[in-house]
Structures are given as structure tokens and as C-alpha cells.
Amino acid sequence: MDSSDDEHDIIRQFQAKRRRIERSNSKELDLDIDSEIINEPVYVPLKQRRLKLLERLHGGNSGDENSQNSADSRKYSHTNHNHVDEEITVGPQAQFTLLEQSTELKKKQTDSEQTNTDKILQEEQRILENVVETKALMGVAELAKGIEYTEPIKTSWRPPRAIKSMENERHQRVRSRYNIIVEGDDIPAPLQTFESMKFPPGILNALAEKKISRPTPIQMQGLPAVLSGRDLIGIAYTGSGKTLVFALPIIMFCCEQELAMPFVKNEGPYGLIVCPSRELARQTQTVISNICDHLHRSGMPKLRIATCVGGTAIKDQLDTIKQGVHIVVATPGRLMDMLDKKLLYLDICRYLCLDEADRMIDLGFEEDVRNIISHFKTQRQTLLFSATMPKKIQNFAKSALVKPITINVGRAGAASLEVKQEIEHVMAEARVVQLLSTLQKTSPPVLIFAQRKQDVDAIHEYLLLKGVEAVAIHGGKAQRRFFMPYLDQVERFWAVEKFVTKEKDVLVATDVASKGLDFPDIQHVINFDLPEDIENYVHRIGRTGRCGKVGLATTFVNRTCDEPGCSYCNGLGHRITNCPKLESQQNKQANNLKKNDFLAKGHSDW
């Protein structure tokens, strides 16, 4: 019994001790809970918080310190306004309303976007300023002798005395009436008739046969400038008559040289016209030959014209050159080949015209043109003509011309106001089928432009299968699908001839047919896709609406069409910072620097 009683006493003592420990723990827990409840901040209504804030602002030293801190915080937020993601106090502790905070955030975001845009524009402007031509366009003899021409070539042509004696204000009124913008020194007066330009009867008869009675604005100012021997940059919308501005003076100069001393065998040329495409070269040669034939029938000497283009036999071209040639119309590739092989010389050449200069530089012929100019032995008169004048052409002209006169009719790169432009939103896969309904808008002839050669072939075959009288041209020689033969140069000439004579109703082409080619009475131009830059678009739609006639241009667009972005080439889908044309030009310059690093560039290098 004693042992059992002892055990019970021990158990009771243990249980009592356990109960005391549990009671003490529960009291500590209650104290902690009470302290948390006491320390928890009491909710204060917004009205009372604002009243306390006003009291602190208008109160003693503590209020001054708080206001100073508030001002410092505002100053800090304004100095860091470019950082949109900075921390802003919201909720009960905020010192501004939500509306004020939202307005501040929007303002900071707008300022940040404007700052980034300004940085991009400044960077592009800096790149454009650095894209300049450092190598002057000079001949080998000029470089060797250190010659630098500062005055234009002198000619025997003089304007009528009555026009020359008139005040400059009268000439400016004529320019304003026809929207002619000129830049340069000692600008000749504009002449409003061909008779006042002193052209012989043979030329006037040739113009009358083509129903040309009065000069166009570019001809009013351009012809007197070229006849005076001035270097010229001609900018005008397509179909404005730029061809006659360089064709008529070169014919007059060659007639003058032939009358003074007839050309002998292997002599010439006196005038050189460089075109970017074979079709344009052939068209220019046709215009000049027609005028020369009328001139010869009126009793003037016969002038010989040679066309030097690729894709044709060189034998016929050499036969004309060996007889003594007055005018050569050429493409850069064939001309460079003949100059390198010494089949043609530019020793007496005094007249150089670059037709569609932007196209020539854009196609990568810039270095060829520089090499061609290096073959000149003496001073030359240089003319640049185009419907557009981008930055790269302006830089090119600065290094090639002497005191040039710039004539701008309308606005550089502007389309003719006689062309009605329409846009059709067509899915990419439905464009070929849509052509049939679009062709029905007008009567033939119709031009269809496509960017890719494969699209030209596909459109041509589809139209033939649907019974449309169509022909196609492009710069490739790949075999056409199905029964099509090779598209060689003979077929290209044949296609253009059939379209000009209206034996075919539709011509499908790449941009090779968009520059300079003059197809009569084009009613409608269809852009199967958008070209790479705005200049090509202007040239495309410029095939219609020529010589005062109204035309229609329809362009297919869809979601895949990019917006223009490059300020250097006006290309689509990229900026100047990653412009492929600018990068290609810089790579060429780097390669030339490596090759010619130890070659003398002039007399100062010796």
C-alpha cells in the first residue's frame, strides 16, 4: 500500500506541475495577442488624414521638414521624368490623387517616346550627312595634270536679243506661271517657243510630225540652259518631255561639228548618252534617229548614231563606229566592255548625258559610270535627268557637275496630276485572278508591273490561258515554264514592238519597263505588288497620263505590304541604320580602298 500511495503522490505532483506550466504559457500568449492588438494602427478616415496633412504643412518645424521632403521628392520625380517605371506611392499614403498620378504617368511616357524618336532621327541625319562622295568624277588626264574646271563649256548659241534684254522679274513671272523651280548662277531666260530657241526647219518639222507645237515647262528652261553649255540636273514628273531636253542640243552640237569638219573613220563620238536599260536606250536612239532623218532631208549633214547595248551582236555596232559616229546611246555594261577592249574612244567626246540617273545608281552602275567618266580626256558638259532625286543622286551630282543648274518642275519624286490612283485590297493568293476584273476598268493598252520575274511569268501564262493578248519582258534569261522559249534580248525587243504597235493589248513587266520607256496611249497601269521604293512607284504609274492625257493606276495591297522607312533609299521595311543599299555601297568603297590604297589619285599624291 505504501508503494502504491507513493506512486499516486508522484503522479499528482507531476500533474499539478504540468497544470502550472500550461497556465503560465496561456497567460504569455494572451499578453502577446493583446500587445499585437494594441500596436495595430487604427484606421483613420481620408478626411481626417487630409486635415492632419494640412496641419503639418501649415504647422511648425516638423511641418516645414515634411514640406521640404515633399518638394525634394517632386524635384526628384521631375529630374527623372524619362524613367516611366519609377516607384510611385499609391493608396492611403499617396500625396496625389489617382487622376494626377495617371496624368503624370502619361506625360512621362509621351516624353520618353518623343525622346527616343528624336534620338533615332538624329542618328539617321548623322548617317545621311556622312554619306557623301569623296572621290571626284574626273578623267585620267585631269587627275594626272591636277586640272579642276570651274567654268562651264562655251557654246556658239545665244538667246534672242529681245528676250535677253528683258528684266529678270519677267523671267521669274514665266517660271512661276509654269511652276518651274531653278537653282544656280547666271540662269538663262526661259523660252516659250521652239522658234525662239533657233532650231532649224528640219527639227521643227520633226516636232510638228509628232504633234509637238509648244515646249513643256522642263523644255522651256532646260533647252536654253543646255544650249548655253551649262551642266544640268533635270527633275520632272514622268511624261514631261525630258528626252528632248538632251536630244535636241546634242543634235545641234553634232551638226555644228560636222559642218565645221566632217567626221572621218574611227572618229567620235562627240555625244554620249547612257541609259540604265536596253529598251530605254533603243527608244532614245529611235527618237534621235527620227529627228536626224528630218534634219538630213532639209539639207543638213547626215548624223550617224550607234546603239551599244548588251544582248545583241557587237559587229553591227562596230560597223557604225568605224565609219565615224556622232552620237552613241549605250548601257553601262556594254559601254564599259567596249572601252576596256579599246573598241571605242572618248577622246573628242564633249557631251555626256545620264538618263534616269537614279535608276542607274540604284542598279549598282555607279562604279561603271565613274570608270566611263575616267576615259574622258578634256572638259565635258554633263547632264543628269530623272523623275526623282534621292540623296544618293544629289551626292553623286555634286562630284560630277561644274556650276550646275537644277531645274525642278513640280516636286522631285511627285507623280503626274493627270494620273488617277486607285488602291485595291487583295489577298496575295488572289491577285492573279483579280487581274481579269481589274483589266476591264479601261480599254487596252494596259501595263502590268510585278517585282519578281517569277510573278511576271505566272501572270503572262495565266492571261494567255484566259485568251488575253499579252506579252512579257524582264531582265532574266531563265527558261519560261510550259511551252515558253527563252526570254532573250530578241524576244524583249519583239515584245516591246508588238505592244507599241498595238498588236498586243497587255504588257507584263518588271521595273525594267518602268523607267523612261514611252508607250503611246497607255490607258491603265496595274501594280501587281508594291515596288521597293517610292521612286519606282512614281516611274511605274508615270507610264500613263503622259503629255496631258488622263490615265488610271491601280495598285494591289495587302497586309504583307510594309511601310516605307529608309531615308537613304526610301526602301520598305527597314531604316537607314540597316539599309542594304547603303551597306553594299560602303562595302564597295572599302574594297576599292584596299585595291587602290597605294595608287596616286592626282598630282598632289606624287
Give the model's pLDDT for residue 603: 39
User: Residue 210 CB: number of other CB atoms within 10 A?
Assistant: 12
Whether the pLDDT of residue 125 is over 60: the answer is yes
User: Residue 538 CB: number of other CB atoms within 10 A?
Assistant: 21
What average pLDDT does range 444-458 have in this prediction? 90
Amino acid identity at 427: M
What average pLDDT does range 408-414 have in this prediction? 68
Give the model's pLDDT for residue 306: 94
* Mean pLDDT over the full length of the chain: 77
Give the model's pLDDT for residue 114: 60
H or E segment at 382? strand 381-386
pLDDT digits (tens, 9 = 90+) for 537-584: 887 888 888 766 788 999 998 876 655 556 666 565 566 666 767 766
What average pLDDT does range 176-187 have in this prediction? 90
Q: How far apart are CA 220 and CA 72, in angstroms?
A: 69
Which among 188-192, 318-322, 451-455 has the top mean pLDDT? 188-192
Give the model's pLDDT for residue 439: 93
Q: Give the domains, in start order, of the chain with CATH numbers.
A: 140-409 (3.40.50.300), 419-574 (3.40.50.300)
Give the model's pLDDT for residue 540: 86
What average pLDDT does range 302-316 have in this prediction? 88
Give the model's pLDDT for residue 381: 94
Percentage of residues in the chain having pLDDT higher than 70:
67
pLDDT higher for 409 or 563?
Answer: 409
Which among 121-130, 474-483, 533-542 has the top mean pLDDT? 533-542
pLDDT confidence tier of residue 17, bands split at 50, 70 and 90: confident
State pTM to two decimals: 0.62
pLDDT digits (tens, 9 = 90+) for 126-173: 666 555 444 445 554 454 455 677 888 989 999 999 998 888 899 999
Whether the pLDDT of residue 99 is over 60: the answer is yes
pLDDT confidence tier of residue 268, bands split at 50, 70 and 90: confident
Give the model's pLDDT for residue 471: 92
Number of H helices, E strands in the chain: 21, 14
Tell me the C-alpha to C-alpha distance, in Å, between residue 261 and each of 209, 254, 258, 454.
Answer: 30, 10, 5, 52
What average pLDDT does range 501-527 have in this prediction? 82
What average pLDDT does range 97-101 have in this prediction? 74
Give the model's pLDDT for residue 591: 59
> Helix axis angle, 366-373 relative to 580-595, nearest 10°?
40
pLDDT digits (tens, 9 = 90+) for 32-54: 544 544 455 567 787 788 788 87
Whether the pLDDT of residue 526 is over 50: the answer is yes
Give the model's pLDDT for residue 86: 44
pLDDT digits (tens, 9 = 90+) for 18-37: 777 776 665 555 545 445 44
Grid coordinates representing 353?
548625258
Residues 6+ apart with CB under 8 A from 277: 331, 359, 512, 515, 516, 517
DSSP 229: T
Whether the pLDDT of residue 305 is over 90: the answer is yes
Sequence length of the chain is: 606
Q: Which of 85-94, 120-129, 348-357 shows the lowest mean pLDDT across its residues?
A: 85-94
Q: How far apart are CA 26 and CA 6, in angstroms?
A: 31
